[in-house]
Amino acid sequence: MKRRSKIRIAAFSAAVFTAMLAWAVTATVKADRFGRQLRINDQQALTQLCEYFDNIEVSLMKSLYANSDNMLSVLSSDLQKQATGAKTSLASLSSGDTAMLNTYKFLSQVGEYTASLNKKAAAGGAFTQEDRETLEKLLGYAAALSTRFDHMADLMNSDYFSFEALDQNMKTVEKGSEQMVSFLDSAADAEDAMTNFPTLIYDGPFSDNILSKESELLKTAEPVSLQQAREKACACMGAQDSDLIDDGETNGRIAAYNFRVNGKTIAVSKNGGYLVYILSDAQVGSAKLTDTDAIENAAAFLYNVGYRGLMSTYYAVNDGVCTVNFAYVQDGYICYPDLIKVGVSLSDGGIVTLDASDYLMNHVERALPAVAVSAEAAAADVAETLTVKKTALAVIPTDGGGESFAHELLCETADGQDVLVYKDVTTGKEDDILILLYSDHGVLTK
């Protein structure tokens, strides 16, 4: 063979090898990329599944305290949506859903069962003790599943969890003080909790609509110039005009001028010159103030920037920041749609966050109805499992985008759980139920 031919063959062989190597590398990169995307999708699906089961548990708990067909209708609609979302998330997991037939049965039937109770109540049937006992059993199953899926999510976030099947050697290899766990094994444990799940009889689903709103407050307010907005921002933040940096504009339902000063972003509405929000980049130090100090600082700040007639309702503490909810009060009614959230640093008492978008979208002087059903009558008509401790008047938002004028009844269950029941002041019907959550981090509702 001639030398030139040998060189050509060697060059061709090298080219083929290079091409095959490039193909192999490309295929490996694509496989890795596909694997990463698959893991991300699985992680998102499991996270959503935890949220759905938590919401199902809360709605079932509320169903136990409901005492009207209207309230059962609202809750059954919510349960159906949550159950449908949970089934979608379960089916999205790449490990498959064939091992979770009992869980699927639970998700398919829990919403429809409460819908059947609502239909029964609407037809004049009584909500019996047997019905409540069945709901309690469903609540027990929901709580068990919620706990197991939350545990999976905790393991996933700690890197002790695999969505792929593990052989026996991988299961026994410890990471730190924990062992690797697979989704399939965890799913089997979750199924064990559903061994005695009953077969339920049910009727069809319910639906509702969410309506968009336009701010009456901003629609009738006078426009402000950029300079006027700068002056407002300076006054709110205690800054000089020379310290303020223009940060563009925001358009949409709440059009605003944006500014930056001392690590904070401030938005002032183009109509009315209202403070819309504050965001901070600053790190919060160790806590030196109490929650009460933070609430007082937040109230004083709101008063100084022009938000008047508000009262604090609930608060929560996270990462050294106490976030306080304030609602507008009109003639004794707590107007929950007119909400402003203020975050206060427990290190120095400074305002680190503010969100007045709910207030700006909903605030208006309302035509309050005459109270036809007394607080005493409303309190006398709550579920037998509840004891009323306190009453107040409230305006609450409805799922359809409207508002309801209601008696707010703070109740307590036999096991000490606090529950808020809302009954319409003109008809006495139940409008909503909220479960109060107390912790070292504050008071929240579900």
At 366, which amino acid appears?
R
Is 380 domain-assigned? yes
**C-alpha distances in Å from residue 143, one per residue of 118, 138, 203:** 23, 9, 24
Predicted local distance difference test score (pLDDT) of residue 214: 79
Percentage above 70 pLDDT, the chain: 70
Q: How many residues are recorded in the chain?
A: 446
Percentage above 90 pLDDT, the chain: 31
**Neighbouring residues of 196: CB distance < 8 A, sequence distance ≥ 6:** none
Higher pLDDT, 393 or 262: 393
How many domains does one find in the chain?
A: 3
47 and 182 share one domain: yes
Is 174 domain-assigned? yes
Higher pLDDT, 388 or 186: 388
List the domain range (segments joined by +) for residue 284: 216-362
Predicted local distance difference test score (pLDDT) of residue 33: 52
Residue where one domain finishes, among candidates 327, 362, 397: 362
418 and 320 share one domain: no
181 and 124 share one domain: yes
CA 38 centroid distance within chain:
25
Predicted local distance difference test score (pLDDT) of residue 21: 57
> CA 339, CA 156: separation in Å to the nearest integer?
36
315 and 429 share one domain: no
133 and 228 share one domain: no
Tens of pLDDT, residues 327-370: 999 999 999 989 999 999 999 899 988 989 889 989 999 999 99
> CA 289, CA 154: separation in Å to the nearest integer?
32
What's the pLDDT band for 162 if we cut at 50, 70, 90?
low
42 and 128 share one domain: yes
Is 263 domain-assigned? yes
> CA 269, CA 221: separation in Å to the nearest integer?
10
**Neighbouring residues of 428: CB distance < 8 A, sequence distance ≥ 6:** 373, 377, 378, 381
Is 102 domain-assigned? yes
**C-alpha distances in Å from residue 119, one per residue of 127, 422, 427:** 11, 21, 20
> CA 85, CA 151: separation in Å to the nearest integer?
20
Residue where one domain finishes, among candidates 333, 362, 391: 362
Is 38 domain-assigned? yes
56 and 145 share one domain: yes
Region class of 245: left (phi > 0), else alpha (psi between -120 and 50), else beta: beta
Radius of gyration of the chain measured on its C-alpha atoms = 29
pLDDT at 259 over 70: yes
41 and 180 share one domain: yes
Q: Which of 116-120, 148-152, 386-390 has the lowest mean pLDDT?
A: 116-120
Region class of 267: left (phi > 0), else alpha (psi between -120 and 50), else beta: beta
**pTM for the full predicted model:** 0.60
410 and 344 share one domain: no
pLDDT at 17 over 60: no
Predicted local distance difference test score (pLDDT) of residue 367: 94
Is 198 domain-assigned? no
- The chain-wide mean pLDDT, for the chain, equals 78
41 and 184 share one domain: yes
Is 331 domain-assigned? yes
What's the pLDDT band for 230 if we cut at 50, 70, 90?
very high
Residue where one domain finishes, among candidates 339, 362, 385: 362
Is 63 domain-assigned? yes
227 and 79 share one domain: no
Tens of pLDDT, residues 191-203: 666 655 554 433 2
121 and 27 share one domain: yes
